[in-house]
Amino acid sequence: MSIPTVAIQMYSLRDLAQRDFLGTLALVADIGYEAVEFAGFYDTPARLLRQRLNQLGLTAPSAHIGLNFTNPDRMESEFEAQLEYASELGLKHVITPWAPLPAQPTIDELARLAELFYRCGEQASRYGLKYGYHNHEAEFKLVAGRPAIDHLLERVPAELMTMEFDLGWVYVAGNDPVDYLRRYAGRVPLAHFKDLSDGRRDMELGSGKVGYERLIPEAIRAGVQYMIVEQEQFAVSAVESAKQNLAFFESFDLSGKTG
């Protein structure tokens, strides 16, 4: 088993990034992170951003790239432009961060969504990129007795769509994240590590209810290559939370043993 890399989803530092994107990347490197996942590029040319990452010693395995569900006629061309950018930047994965699931999805609606994901996977593969999907809570609604996400992953081949499980939302949806890591081992190269309280408020890792102490070794066994910190609410500041979350990982040897 390879040792995973700890990364941070840049949405965690969105307020800073909006003001100074490249400067915020330098801050991430100074804190001690080795990798980032993007949630927007702030009109930065791919060549300049790639140069900045190299200067800072950061890797960027992935980015969240939304699909234009409001204008399906433009969806394919807009996604194509994002794939060109991602390829020039040197990313390995492009992740759809959400899909507008109905309140009560039907099998037919899931089939249509799976067909869309299939096409996205084919489109990404032409650029040498892996296509993936990131869940929230809605993907675990039961459809014909099974969670919607299981239907989707069954209909789209693993070679065309990986899964970036947000382990916090898996937990909030009433599931044990361990079950999903084991069920889809080998199909989860990236995972989001988000801790939450009973009231669904974001917490620093190890402070909430998800139980990451036992999830870290399970994630390693499942083949997770990048453990990506994501936090959207902060008791003190986004920067302080980023530091605390990295310190949480540093208390492990990433084989599941506490330091």
3-state secondary structure the chain: CCCCEEEEEHHHHHHHHHHCHHHHHHHHHHHCCCEEEECCCCCCCHHHHHHHHHHHCCEEEEEECCCCCCCHHHHHHHHHHHHHHHHHHCCCEEEECCCCCCCCCCHHHHHHHHHHHHHHHHHHHCCCCEEEEECCCHHHCEECCEEHHHHHHHHCCCCCCEEEEEHHHHHHCCCCHHHHHHHCCCCCCEEEECEECCCCCEECCCCCCCCHHHHHHHHHHCCCCEEEECCCCCCCCHHHHHHHHHHHHHCECCCCCEC
Give the mean pLDDT of 122-130: 98
Average pLDDT over residues 112-120: 98
Model confidence at 1, pLDDT cuts 50, 70, 90, reads: low
Residue 180: Cβ-neighbour burial (10 angstroms; 0-12, 13-18, 19+): buried
* pLDDT of 240 over the 80 cut: yes
Tens of pLDDT, residues 38-47: 999 999 999 9
Evaluate whether 25 touches 52 at the Cβ level (below 8 Å).
yes
Q: List the structure tokens of 201.
A: 């408020």
Closest Cα to residue 192, out of 17, 82, 37, 60? 37
Given this model, what pLDDT does residue 190 score?
Answer: 98
Residues in the chain: 259
pLDDT value at residue 252: 87
Distance CA 149, CA 134 (A): 10
Give per-residue pLDDT as tens, 172-190.
999 999 999 999 999 999 9
In the predicted model, what is the mean pLDDT of the chain? 95
According to CATH, the superfamily of the domain at 5-250 is: Divalent-metal-dependent TIM barrel enzymes (3.20.20.150)
Strands 190-193 and 162-166, bridge-based pairing: parallel
11 has a pLDDT exceeding 80: yes
Domain boundaries, the chain: 5-250
> Residues of the chain with pLDDT > 70: what percent?
98
Cα separation values, 157 from 41, 105, 160, 184, 207, Å: 29, 21, 5, 12, 36
Average pLDDT over residues 217-239: 95
Mean pLDDT of 215-230: 96
What's the pLDDT band for 2 if we cut at 50, 70, 90? confident
Please determine, for residue 223, whether its predicted confidence score (pLDDT) is greater than 70: yes
Average pLDDT of the segment spanning 201-215: 94
pTM over 0.85: yes
Report pLDDT for 237. 95
Give the other-Cβ count within 10 Å of 11's Cβ. 17
Average of pLDDT values for 84-102?
Answer: 97
pLDDT category at 255 given cuts 50, 70, 90 is low
Q: What is the CA radius of gyration of the chain?
A: 18
Q: What is the mean pLDDT of residues 119-123?
A: 98
Residue 259 has pLDDT above 50, yes or no: no
Dihedral (Cα; 8, 12, 13, 14), 10-degree rounding: 130
